């Protein structure tokens, strides 16, 4: 019987999982390579804010931590497009008041999760870099910044959870030991983050409750609001080989000319653009594929350590948090934990593979297709079909972001069916008013089963 566990990583996923396990009566110890972020400056180079949606909120509810996070949330009701001609277009995410996603500061969320874990009885160990994992022997070695080392064992009776992110030490040990294989599919694009400061009164200098997007075809700029009046802007651009690219932007003059041409309204809001731009190297983005997330019931990878994805659907953290919910539900059904580890590995990856594919597709949509009149017409029709068939036709974005009870894989499957229905309905039509809704209704009834979690 499992009475204690070890968790690697005290980012966001590790403390959430630890809290859930501790609330079940398990003794949990979390080990983190960084100093305690509640007592030190935030680590540089990491994403400043995160997008929180229904799956993440559901996980926080399950852990009893949502109330602490609420004050930090800034709602975003849709995408505000900044067009090349200087005009703006607002595209709502959905049509119901609760269909919104939230911007939340990573540092604030992390601190709330750490406080929650401690309140649940979790023991937190900071400044403990895991320098060796003996998977076969079931031992860990930690080294602190002053050179002191300590060891800890793990086994099926006291399992190890790797919640240590895309650079997971446990995953590397599984691969090195021949217990798993891993592949990272890197995008040809990278990103750089910038800050749009608040005005003199501490207010936002653009519309507050929206995700701002400057779609420019093969690249884009986005900006998420923060609760302190600032925006975190992120430029997504090819790494090299084309123009524009990060490789082609070598001087402050290059950067300013690029922004003046493609993002002039954003340039006006970032007077120190060049200083911010060159403060950090571009960040890489990849989709991670790992053959085995678990080893003999003694070790299990969760979150980004198992299935890191690109950030364009805002689901990376939400997916990791959903891992914690699913795992918590599975572990305490009376089944042996080794069986649960294997089942989690086998069943959960069906959904994580689906959101990985949808995240890449959403990048293509955000940087280019959102400007297309055909896309906007499909969006208009999708919302109308949702109003007419609320338990059957739910737009794919809504299924992913606002319906925690619909698996990612089901959202992907139904989304493909719905895309076909929309394309057929609009073929040869000038607008939604010209659609044959009786024929569409027959297609919806025939091809889409009713969902208990449907809208309305």
Per-residue pLDDT, 456: 37
Q: Is the pLDDT of residue 343 over 60?
A: yes
Let me know whether 314 and 430 are in one domain: no
Q: Domain of 390?
A: 372-447
Let me know whether 390 and 349 are in one domain: no
Do the domain assignments include residue 255? no
Per-residue pLDDT, 455: 47
Taking residues 144-159, what's their average pLDDT?
Answer: 96
Q: Is the pLDDT of residue 279 over 80?
A: yes
Do the domain assignments include residue 277? no
CA distance 294 to 65: 28
Do the domain assignments include residue 71? no
Number of domains the chain contains:
2
CA distance 110 to 39: 12
| pLDDT, tens digit (0-9, with 9 covering 90-100), for 394-424 | 999 999 999 999 999 999 999 999 999 999 9
Let me know whether 336 and 400 are in one domain: no
Considering 304, 332, 360, which residue would you say is the last residue of a domain? 360
Let me know whether 305 and 418 are in one domain: no
Let me know whether 127 and 8 are in one domain: yes
Let me know whether 12 and 111 are in one domain: yes
Do the domain assignments include residue 205? no
Do the domain assignments include residue 328? yes
Let me know whether 57 and 128 are in one domain: yes
Per-residue pLDDT, 42: 62
The CATH number of residue 20's host domain is: 3.50.50.60
| pLDDT, tens digit (0-9, with 9 covering 90-100), for 175-184 | 999 999 999 9
Let me know whether 425 and 392 are in one domain: yes
Do the domain assignments include residue 344? yes
| pLDDT, tens digit (0-9, with 9 covering 90-100), for 69-113 | 999 999 999 999 999 999 999 989 988 888 999 999 999 999 999
Let me know whether 441 and 302 are in one domain: no
Let me know whether 380 and 354 are in one domain: no
Considering 317, 334, 360, which residue would you say is the last residue of a domain? 360
225 Cβ contact partners less than 8 Å away, ≥ 6 residues apart: 74, 76, 103, 204, 208, 209, 210, 231
Let me know whether 420 and 400 are in one domain: yes
Considering 307, 333, 360, which residue would you say is the last residue of a domain? 360
Do the domain assignments include residue 234? no
Do the domain assignments include residue 29? yes
Let me know whether 298 and 413 are in one domain: no
């Amino acid at each position: 019987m499992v009475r204690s566990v070890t968790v690697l990583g005290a980012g966001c996923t590790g403390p959430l999982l630890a809290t859930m396990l501790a609330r079940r009566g398990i003794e949990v110890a979390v080990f983190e390579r960084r100093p305690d972020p509640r007592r030190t400056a935030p680590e540089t180079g990491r994403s400043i804010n995160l997008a929180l949606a229904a799956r993440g909120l559901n996980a926080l509810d399950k852990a009893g931590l949502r109330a602490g996070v609420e004050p930090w949330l800034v709602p975003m009701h849709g995408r505000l497009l900044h067009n090349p001609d200087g005009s703006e277009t607002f595209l709502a995410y959905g049509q119901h008041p609760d269909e919104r996603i939230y911007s939340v500061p990573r540092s604030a969320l992390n601190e709330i999760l750490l406080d929650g874990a401690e309140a649940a009885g979790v023991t937190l160990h900071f400044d403990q870099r895991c320098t060796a994992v003996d998977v076969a022997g079931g031992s860990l070695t930690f080294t602190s910044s002053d050179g002191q080392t300590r060891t800890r064992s793990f086994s099926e009776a006291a399992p190890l959870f790797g919640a240590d992110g895309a650079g997971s030490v446990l995953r590397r040990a599984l691969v090195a030991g021949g217990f798993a294989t891993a592949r990272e599919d890197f995008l040809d694009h990278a990103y750089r983050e910038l800050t749009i400061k608040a005005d003199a009164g501490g207010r936002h200098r653009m519309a507050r409750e929206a995700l701002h997007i400057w779609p420019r075809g093969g690249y884009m700029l986005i900006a998420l609001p923060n609760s302190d009046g600032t925006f975190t802007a992120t430029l997504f651009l090819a790494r090299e080989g084309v123009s524009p690219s990060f490789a082609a932007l070598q001087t402050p003059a290059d950067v300013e000319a690029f922004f003046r041409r493609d993002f002039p309204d954003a340039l006006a809001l970032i007077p120190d653009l060049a200083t911010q731009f060159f403060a950090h190297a571009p960040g890489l983005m990849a989709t991670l594929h790992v053959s085995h997330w678990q080893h003999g019931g003694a070790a299990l990878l969760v979150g980004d350590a198992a299935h890191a994805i690109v950030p364009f659907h805002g689901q990376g953290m939400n997916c990791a948090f959903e891992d914690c919910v699913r795992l918590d539900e599975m572990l305490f059904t009376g089944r042996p934990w080794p069986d649960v580890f294997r089942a989690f590995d086998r069943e959960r990856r069906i959904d994580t593979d689906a959101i990985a594919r949808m995240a890449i597709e959403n990048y293509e949509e955000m940087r280019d297709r959102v400007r297309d009149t055909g896309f906007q017409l499909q969006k208009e029709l999708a919302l109308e079909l949702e109003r007419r068939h609320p338990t059957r036709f739910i737009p794919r974005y809504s299924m992913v972001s606002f319906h925690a009870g619909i698996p990612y894989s089901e959202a992907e499957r139904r989304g493909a069916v719905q895309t076909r229905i929309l394309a057929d309905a609009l073929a040869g039509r000038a607008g939604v008013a010209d659609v044959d809704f009786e024929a569409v209704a027959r297609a919806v009834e025939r091809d889409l089963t009713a969902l208990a979690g449907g809208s309305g």
